[in-house]
């Protein structure tokens, strides 16, 4: 799964990287401890025009009467996304890229204490997670919401966790966004083992209130 990540690249650099027009109301960055229900950055494509826009991390199905009317859907499993009622329409029609500088995962020591790891690109400054999104409009104001697509971990990542986000290579961004026709389903797999690197970080990040660049410093 993916339950926490970091985003540090400035908005203008992110917009240039994804060749997208940035919205005026993007969330504050850097954010070294992005948590579920936070506003995050996402890239969408409409008629070939990309937009960098804010979304609530936590997909809200159309039948929820309130945002808390059911489980918090921050991840969508690649193996079942096309079948699950919550995600199947979004998987066909509303896919997005979710930029991240890196993400966190946890192991446990012999005493059961949670040990956080920071997973980041082996090369480059940015990851692009596969995501799905939709607008929930049963509240006072519409909410644009999203979930990160996850898959079985590759061999390297399986040492830390059995699941991981679908990380898309740059030459696959257009296909995932629907700019190159069909075939997005073929992209929902783990990245090559050498695409990511990881190291232990301070347990301070175990708190969703923690912040600051020291959260991603190796220990």
**What pLDDT score does 112 carry?**
87
Q: What is the pLDDT of residue 186?
A: 97
- Overall number of domains in the chain: 1
Task: Read off φ and ψ for residue 3, nearest 5 degrees.
Answer: -120, 0
Contact 188, 78 (CB under 8 A): yes
Active site residues: 2, 105
Please provide the distance, in angstroms rounded to a whole number, between the alpha carbons at the two ends of the chain.
23
- Per-residue confidence (pLDDT) for residue 47, from 0 to 100: 82
pLDDT per residue of the chain (219 residues) written in tens, 0 to 9:
789 999 999 999 999 999 999 999 999 999 999 999 999 999 999 987 999 999 999 999 999 999 999 999 999 999 999 999 999 999 999 999 999 999 999 999 888 899 999 999 999 889 999 999 999 999 889 999 999 999 999 999 999 999 999 999 999 999 999 999 889 999 999 999 999 999 999 999 999 999 999 999 999
Q: Output the domain CATH number for residue 194.
A: 3.90.1680.10
Q: What's this model's pTM, rounded to 2 decimal places?
A: 0.96
Q: Are the CB atoms for 168 and 128 separated by under 8 Å?
A: yes
Query: What was the pLDDT predicted at 125?
Result: 83
Chain mean pLDDT for the chain: 96
Residue 28 — φ and ψ, nearest 5°? -65, 140
pLDDT value at residue 110: 87
Task: Determine the structural domain holding residue 140 and report its residue range.
Answer: 5-216
- Token duo for residue 182: 């069909």
The pLDDT, as a whole number, for residue 139 is 82
Q: Is 155 helix (H, G, I), strand (E, B) or coil?
A: coil
């Amino acid at each position: 799964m993916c339950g926490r990540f970091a985003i540090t690249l400035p908005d203008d650099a992110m917009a240039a990287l994804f060749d997208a027009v940035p919205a005026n109301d993007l969330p504050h960055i850097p954010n070294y401890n992005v948590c579920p229900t936070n506003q995050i950055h996402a890239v969408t494509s409409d008629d070939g025009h990309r937009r960098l826009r804010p979304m609530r991390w936590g997909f809200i199905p159309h039948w929820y009467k309130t945002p808390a009317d059911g489980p918090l859907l921050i991840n969508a499993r690649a193996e079942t996304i096309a079948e699950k009622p919550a995600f199947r329409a979004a998987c066909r029609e509303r896919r997005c890229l979710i930029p991240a500088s890196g993400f966190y995962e946890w192991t446990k020591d012999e005493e059961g204490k949670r040990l956080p790891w920071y997973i980041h690109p082996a090369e480059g400054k940015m990851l692009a997670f596969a995501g799905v999104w939709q607008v929930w409009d049963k509240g006072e104001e519409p909410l644009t919401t999203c979930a990160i697509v996850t898959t079985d971990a590759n061999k390297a990542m399986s040492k830390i966790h059995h699941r991981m986000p679908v990380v898309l290579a740059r030459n696959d961004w257009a296909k995932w966004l629907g700019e190159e026709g069909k075939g997005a389903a073929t992209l929902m797999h783990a990245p090559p083992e050498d695409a990511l690197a990881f190291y232990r970080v301070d347990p301070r990040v175990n708190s969703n209130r923690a912040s600051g660049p020291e959260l991603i410093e190796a220990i």
